[in-house]
């Protein structure tokens, strides 16, 4: 279904639910297809009974069934392209690492949010939808922090989204990150098993702490390279909590380079002199199985050139001192 964003007089639309769309809540369905309509308006038209399914009123938690007919009332949709940075569109298309008829895996750039909200007008998913206006379905499978680069999954079918969410719940997607940290880790790999509790500060800032009251969280750290006062490590996640790698690394006494929230100011200042202008955290590899008998998918995202230059500078300094 196409909803015009330029028509001066929006009209009532009727949409017949496909098998691919069945199972999702009506509010989430409307949020997806009315991409530029505020959520507050979507819930308002649901409360007022302006949205009907099979001619009857429904609640926001109603789950769509195959062949349901949804009445969508006239709503004026803001022009999506006006809120999208078109440089982002070209950048994202160039950073696609893997794509088939069900899934996109891209190398998300640092500094770009995965979606709009919290003061950000648009992110990866909005830019990708603007780049592919005829794509029937594009949804984030998971999230990366705004300052983290690397492998990000976007489902092209609802069935694939359900499959990947099942894999995530069961811990059957292997996620690997590269991080530059303070100090030297043990030569043998080690695991940090420390529960994490998320707090909301009075300022609205989100902070995560190691706490017995938190949710279980487990991260494996393997040292790859040692420099003067720093280490490049690969991190494997058994769980995927907010800021998990950053908090676990700081808890172990090895905060991440460029981490302004949980890091060491002196260490960050030293790395800035080496040219580091961001958090050094990169989601560099994903390994997952496709649905049914589909082959395993193993995708790697190259390290951004700016981060590679920082490592080269540290290696050069190490050689000169050696």
Q: Tens digit of pLDDT for each residue in 148-192?
A: 999 999 999 988 998 999 999 888 999 999 999 999 999 899 999
Give the confidence band of 36 by pLDDT, cuts at 50, 70, 90. Answer: low
In angstroms, the CA 276 to CA 172 distance is 33
Question: pLDDT (tens digit, 9 = 90+) per residue, 182-220?
Answer: 999 998 999 999 999 988 776 667 899 999 999 999 999
CA distances from 249 to 21, 201, 263 (A): 41, 22, 9
Looking at the annotation, which residues are catalytic?
145
260-289 burial, b for 16+ CB within 10 Å, e for fewer? ebbbbeebbebbeebebebbbbbbbbbebe
Specify the 3-state DSSP secondary structure of 31: helix
Query: From CA 125, how far away is CA 92, in angstroms rounded?
Result: 10
Residue 116's φ and ψ, nearest 5 degrees, are -70, 165
pLDDT class for 132, splitting at 50, 70, 90?
confident
Question: Which phi and psi (to 5°) does residue 110 adopt?
Answer: -65, 145
Rounded to the nearest 5 degrees, what angle is found at the Cα of 13, between the Cα atoms of 82 and 158? 75
User: Nearest Cα to 219, choosing from 234, 203, 236?
Assistant: 236
CATH topology for the 13-72 domain: 3.10.290
Distance CA 276, CA 185 (A): 21
Rounded Cα gap, residues 169 and 225, in angstroms: 32
Residue 317 scores a pLDDT above 50: yes
Class of the CATH domain delimited by 171-321: alpha beta
Burial of 167: CB neighbours in 10 Å, binned 0-12, 13-18, 19+:
middle
Q: How far apart are CA 208 and CA 142, in angstroms?
A: 19
Provide the CATH topology of domain 80-162. Pseudouridine synthase (3.30.2350)
Average pLDDT over residues 44-69: 91
The DSSP 8-state label assigned to residue 126 in this structure reads H
**Dihedral (CA of 205, 206, 209, 214) sign:** positive
> pLDDT confidence of 3, banded at 50, 70, 90?
very low
Domain boundaries, the chain: 13-72, 80-162, 171-321
The answer to whether the 80-162 and 171-321 domains have the same CATH topology is yes
Query: Which residue would you say has higher pLDDT here, 19 or 42?
Result: 42
What pLDDT, on a 0 to 100 scale, did the predictor assign at position 7? 43
CA distance 286 to 192: 21
Q: Could you tell me which residue, 87 or 177, shows the higher pLDDT? A: 177
Mean pLDDT (the chain) is 87
């Amino acid at each position: 279904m196409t909803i015009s964003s330029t028509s001066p007089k929006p009209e009532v639309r009727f949409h017949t639910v496909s098998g691919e769309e069945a199972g999702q809540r009506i509010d989430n369905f409307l949020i997806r297809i009315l991409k530029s309509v505020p959520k507050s308006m979507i819930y308002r038209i649901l409360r007022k009974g302006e949205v009907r399914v099979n001619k009857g009123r429904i609640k926001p938690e109603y789950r769509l069934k195959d062949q349901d007919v949804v009445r969508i009332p006239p709503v004026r949709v803001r022009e999506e392209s006006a809120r999208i940075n078109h440089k982002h569109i070209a950048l994202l298309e160039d950073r696609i690492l893997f794509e088939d008829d069900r899934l996109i895996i891209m190398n998300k750039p640092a500094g770009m949010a995965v979606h709009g909200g919290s003061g950000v007008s648009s992110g990866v998913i909005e830019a990708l939808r603007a780049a592919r206006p005829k794509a029937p379905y594009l949804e984030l499978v998971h999230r990366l922090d705004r300052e983290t680069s690397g492998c990000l999954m976007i489902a092209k079918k609802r069935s694939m989204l359900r499959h990947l969410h099942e894999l995530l719940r069961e811990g059957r997607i292997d996620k690997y990150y590269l991080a530059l940290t303070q100090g030297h880790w043990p030569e043998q790999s080690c695991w940090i098993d420390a529960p994490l509790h998320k707090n909301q500060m009075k300022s609205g800032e989100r902070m995560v702490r190691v706490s017995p009251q938190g949710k279980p969280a487990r991260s494996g750290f393997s040292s790859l390279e040692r420099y003067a006062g720093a280490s490049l490590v690969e991190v494997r996640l058994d769980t995927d909590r907010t800021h998990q790698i950053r908090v676990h690394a700081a808890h172990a006494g090895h905060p991440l380079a460029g981490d302004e929230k949980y890091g060491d100011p002196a260490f960050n200042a030293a790395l800035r002199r080496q040219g580091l202008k961001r958090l050094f955290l990169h989601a560099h590899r994903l390994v997952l199985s496709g649905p049914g008998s589909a082959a395993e998918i193993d995708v790697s995202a190259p390290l951004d050139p700016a981060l590679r230059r920082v490592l080269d500078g540290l290696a050069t300094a190490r050689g000169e001192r050696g």
